[in-house]
Amino acid sequence: MKAVVITSPGGPDVLKLQEVQDPQLKDDEVLIKVAATAVNRADTIQRKGAYPPPPGSSPYLGLECSGTIEAVGKHVSRWQAGDRVCALLSGGGYAEKVAVPVGQVFPIPPGISLTDAASFPEVACTVWSTVFMMSRLSAGETFLVHGGSSGIGTFAIQIAKYQGVRVFVTAGNEEKLAVCKNLGADVCINYKTEDFVARVKEETGGKGVDVILDSIGADYFRRNLDSLNFDGRLFVIGLMSGPVTELDLRAVLSRRLTIQGTAGLRYRSPENKAVIVREVENNVWPAIVAGKVKTVIYKSFPLSEAAEAHRLMESSQHIGKILLVV
């Protein structure tokens, strides 16, 4: 099969489409003929030599895919050859075929094309596990997501609104904020021209929000804590501004704050990922079927143009997801 190979750690130009060996199918896996995959920021980090795949996982990029099942392992009963599916991966989506543990496979939501379905698994599992399963965001609460126009952000806005939450977002220009508003965001903040802490406090009567999903890291850490309500929960999923900051524990103790983080889904056990996938299928897929959560796809590239897709991702000019079509 063909796959995009990282020929050496570096910039986008190190990505080359090459002939490689087909994946070996295990008893509890399905083999998917890939139709499309999506570009995630984690892919750009792996390309540079960090964020390696877990031991035993595919060495190739790609944390999600959609496609058609070619074969199933002997312990697989739910799926059969010919089924159209999408899947959460530990790696391997930038290829013509990928072997996936059966617990990480979703049916294609009715009304969603096979290609577009590749945009859902990583964002759906990330947002549902961090914001709802671990941070316990619930109806009537308030939620701030930084980078509201990103793939994570555009999904988080929609599923939070579906759950009856008041949604705040930050983004860097008016075009991105307009998209967020159109998706349902209640309060849209241009972080380049406004102090998001002051705006959050103003919009919440001085209380702050209940949950924050942050991909920025160090530069936003103190301001995030200042933006939280009593019993507020901060979940950090990225370190775009760096990993090192200072923490005044008095703020955490006095307002009973919770700080959590994750290095991503790929390092979780297959058993844990299977629990998340089933939760997402039960709670998020109905919202997609009902048209309450839609795909936000900025641009699609052929697999051979993965380098161009990475350049776009790193420019942060996009709104929503970037796809690679096989």
pLDDT of 309 reads: 98
Fold of 2-119+295-325: Quinone Oxidoreductase; Chain A, domain 1 (3.90.180)
The CB density around residue 210, as the number of other CB atoms within 10 Å, is 23
Q: What angle do CA 138, 144, 146 make, to 5 degrees?
A: 140
Amino acid identity at 188: C
**In 3-state terms, what secondary structure has residue 242?**
coil
Q: Give tens-digit pLDDT for 73-87.
A: 999 999 999 999 999
The CB density around residue 234, as the number of other CB atoms within 10 Å, is 23
pLDDT of 264 reads: 86
Q: Give tens-digit pLDDT for 119-162.
A: 999 999 999 999 999 999 999 999 999 999 999 999 999 999 99
From the list 174, 129, 179, the residue with the least C-alpha distance to 158 is 179
Query: What is the widest separation between alpha-carbon atoms in the chain?
Result: 59
Superfamily covering domain 124-261: NAD(P)-binding Rossmann-like Domain (3.40.50.720)
Domain assignments of the chain as residue spans, ordered by start = 2-119+295-325, 124-261
Residues of the chain with pLDDT under 50: none
The two tokens of residue 28 are 């509890």
Q: What is the dihedral of CA 103, 105, 3, 296, to 10 degrees?
A: -130
Same fold, 2-119+295-325 and 124-261: no
pLDDT of 263 reads: 81
From the list 123, 86, 90, 79, the residue with the least C-alpha distance to 105 is 86
Q: What is the dihedral of CA 323, 135, 143, 89, to 10 degrees?
A: 0
